[in-house]
Amino acid sequence: MYKPVPFTKILDKTTSSCRKHHSADEYAMTDQPSPALQVIVLGSGGGPQESNVTAFLVRSLEQDWRKGSLVAVDAGVHLSVITRLIAEATPCPPPPPPFTLDSGPFAGLRLPHSTAAANAAHVTRALVDTYLVTHPHLDHIAGFVINTAGLPGTRPKKLAALPSTIHALKTHIFNNVIWPNLSDENNGAGLLTYLRLVEGGSPALGDGDAKGYLEVCDGLQVKTWSVSHGHCLERHSHRGSTASNPSTRYGSHDASSHPGPPPRRDTYNPPPLQPMSRTHSLANNNQAAGLLGASSPRQSGACETERVCVYDSSAYFIQEQTTRREILIFGDVEPDSISLSPRNLHIWQEAAPKIAAGSLAAIFIECSYDDAQSNDRLYGHLKPVFVVEELSVLAAEVQLARTLRALESRKRKRGSLSEHGRERRQHSTPRKSALLVAEDPVSPKSLRPRVQTTEVVMRTGDGIGTPHLATPTEELSLHDADIGPMTLPPAATSAPRPLQGLKVVIIHVKETLADGPERGDVILEQLQEHEEEAQLGCEFIISKSGQSFYL
């Protein structure tokens, strides 16, 4: 069996050598635990080159290359890139089949055919079991749509997504107009089956660290959250809709009830590293959406309301079942600070305890433009200043999660010591026991340390905000976080860089198709400058097609 280099190794698609920004030694982190996941980057770009748009393969290393062991996350490109990567790694002349690749992202894979095309078809047909789709835009689905018709197997492919994404695919893609109905619904061909995911995870599935996760193939389970990806460029009417009614356009979120001009930032001002709330930012955004989506009676007298719809996208937590190692992969996403429907905070609250526990190894997040792109032309995407702004929110949540973990650890330790003390008192004389009780009249529980309730707000112009409590690693009652003065445990105060060791892989970079520096290089430089100012501690990596990450 092929043994990957621990922790992360990145291979270049054209030279089969390490990328120019980082050497292999930088990613061979032997002090880290053995990797549990592999992520293969099929497509890293966001256009306009159609040959390199968003697509990934993920597998559990424990499953080796077994049938159905691969999950695809988006598939803007798919079969063509798998073919190219296998061809680049195949010896010349190729050995008689079957043979095993010893290099490239598919190293260790035993191939049954002679040609790269036939072997790529084998990978797609036999190994890829499920496709996780973040949203239904063409640059995230084109490869899957085209490939599915030409590669029938013995069982349908699973297309997993939020219900709004599946509805959009059913209605606008697999509708016998744009493309045949290849699904097993509405008398379709049965080549694919829809798997509708529950946002935030199903409460009836899993327990502990796997609570809410759904198994999508052997060794991998997922949980998904929706995020916002810009708003419709056109304003359109929803007959009879009100501020409380959802949008009638599937794949979008009606933001008409959200408020005002949202804060627009073109330079990075690092917020204080304390837990933040987007509530006030949301209040401002609600006013803006209210202005944009104000009701406008038509000349005919019909009372119709124009509303601004926010595109839905999603983010996936992908967990390896045995080790509970995880990665987080975003679809297209915009920053909360300028969104008409900010939804990123709950993802950071979900991710923070995992980072504090050391189980979340990497975040794959888009950064489509560099900082020169004006905010009004981001079209629901991120640029470096906003990536670091969002990661600063995550950093604050991680600090809170570490504080809560330290408190829980102290509480368990104190409880253990108290139990030991009770056992000693039970074996002492009655007089001794009475003295001990008199000297220790208060139970350890009543001496619970009190957590200082620092205001956890997103600072805005008028300084108003609303505090919130981040999702803890374990269930924590409000009684366990009582209000009052407290000295934070050393573990919570001695970490100057809360995201130290976290890999942030940048995806969906849009090429400029112009002379001069590559946009990815510019983005990386700007991210590093912002990170140095914010002191987050994370490492940024610009993804390239053909890279392989062992995490």
For β-strands 539-542 and 305-307, DSSP reports them as unpaired
Which residue would you say has higher pLDDT here, 175 or 236? 175
pLDDT band at 252 (very low <50, low <70, confident <90, very high): low
Return the SS3 of 238.
strand
pLDDT of residue 175: 97
What sign results for the dihedral spanned by CA atoms 160, 162, 164, 165?
Answer: negative
Give CA–CA dist 116/86, Å, rounded. Answer: 6
- Per-residue model confidence as pLDDT tens digits over 336-382: 999 999 999 999 999 999 999 999 999 999 999 999 999 999 999 99
Closest to 481 in 3D by CA, of 375, 407, 387, 426: 407
Query: Which segments of 398-547 are extended strands (E)?
Result: 503-507, 539-542
Residue 535 Cα distances to 127, 306, 385, 391, 494, angstroms: 41, 43, 14, 11, 14
Which amino acid type is present at position 306? E
317 phi and psi angles, rounded to 5 deg: -85, 120
Most confidently modeled of 309-313, 358-362, 454-458? 358-362
pLDDT band at 284 (very low <50, low <70, confident <90, very high): very low
Give CA–CA dist 278/458, Å, rounded. Answer: 6
- Per-residue model confidence as pLDDT tens digits over 191-244: 999 999 999 998 899 888 899 999 999 999 999 999 999 988 776 543 333 333
Residue 437 Cα distances to 252, 422, 442, 518, angstroms: 64, 10, 9, 72
468: which 2 tokens? 């919130």
Are 442 and 435 in contact, with CB atoms under 8 Å apart?
A: no
What sign results for the dihedral spanned by CA atoms 217, 41, 140, 138?
Answer: negative
Which residue would you say has higher pLDDT here, 417 or 111? 111
Report, in angstroms and rounded to the nearest whole number, the Rg of the chain calculated over CA atoms.
Answer: 26
pLDDT of residue 103: 96
Are 111 and 98 in contact, with CB atoms under 8 Å apart?
A: yes
pLDDT of residue 277: 42
pLDDT of residue 422: 60
Name the one residue in this structure whose structure tokens are 């190794």: 9
pLDDT at 164 over 80: yes
pLDDT of residue 471: 38
Name the one residue in this structure whose structure tokens are 């009701």: 295
Which residue would you say has higher pLDDT here, 53 or 248? 53
Give the containing element (helix H, strand E) for 171.
helix 163-172
**Helical H segments across 199-298, by residue range:** 279-292
Residue 36 Cα distances to 131, 317, 344, 396, angstroms: 20, 15, 27, 27
- Per-residue model confidence as pLDDT tens digits over 120-145: 999 999 999 999 999 999 999 999 99
Which amino acid type is present at position 307? R
- Per-residue model confidence as pLDDT tens digits over 484-539: 333 444 444 455 699 999 999 999 999 999 999 999 999 999 999 999 999 999 99
pLDDT of residue 215: 97
Quote the mean pLDDT of the chain: 78
pLDDT of residue 341: 94
pLDDT of residue 306: 53
What is the pLDDT averaged over residues 438-450? 35
- Per-residue model confidence as pLDDT tens digits over 298-308: 344 444 445 66
32: which 2 tokens? 């880290």
Percent of the residues in the chain that have a pLDDT greater than 90, as a whole number: 60
Task: Count CB-CB contacts under 10 A for residue 374.
Answer: 11
Query: What is this structure's pTM?
Result: 0.75
Closest to 466 in 3D by CA, of 481, 453, 450, 479: 453
What is the pLDDT averaged over residues 325-339? 98
Are 68 and 58 in contact, with CB atoms under 8 Å apart?
A: no
pLDDT of residue 254: 52
pLDDT of residue 295: 35
406: which 2 tokens? 């330290």
For domain 1-232+247-293+308-416+453-551, give its CATH number from 3.40.50.2300, 1.10.3210.10, 3.60.15.10, 3.40.50.300.
Answer: 3.60.15.10
pLDDT of residue 427: 53
What is the pLDDT averaged over residues 275-283? 41
Give CA–CA dist 244/256, Å, rounded. Answer: 9
What is the pLDDT averaged over residues 253-268? 48
List the domain boundaries for the chain.
Answer: 1-232+247-293+308-416+453-551
Give CA–CA dist 397/378, Å, rounded. Answer: 26
28 phi and psi angles, rounded to 5 deg: -90, 75
Which residue would you say has higher pLDDT here, 358 or 414? 358
What is the pLDDT averaged over residues 287-311? 48
Is the peptide bond prior to 421 cis by the omega test (within 30 degrees of 0)?
no
pLDDT at 428 over 90: no
pLDDT band at 412 (very low <50, low <70, confident <90, very high): confident
- 280-289, 332-341, 450-459: which range is least confident on average? 450-459
- 45-59, 253-267, 306-320: which range is least confident on average? 253-267
Are 508 and 74 in contact, with CB atoms under 8 Å apart?
A: no
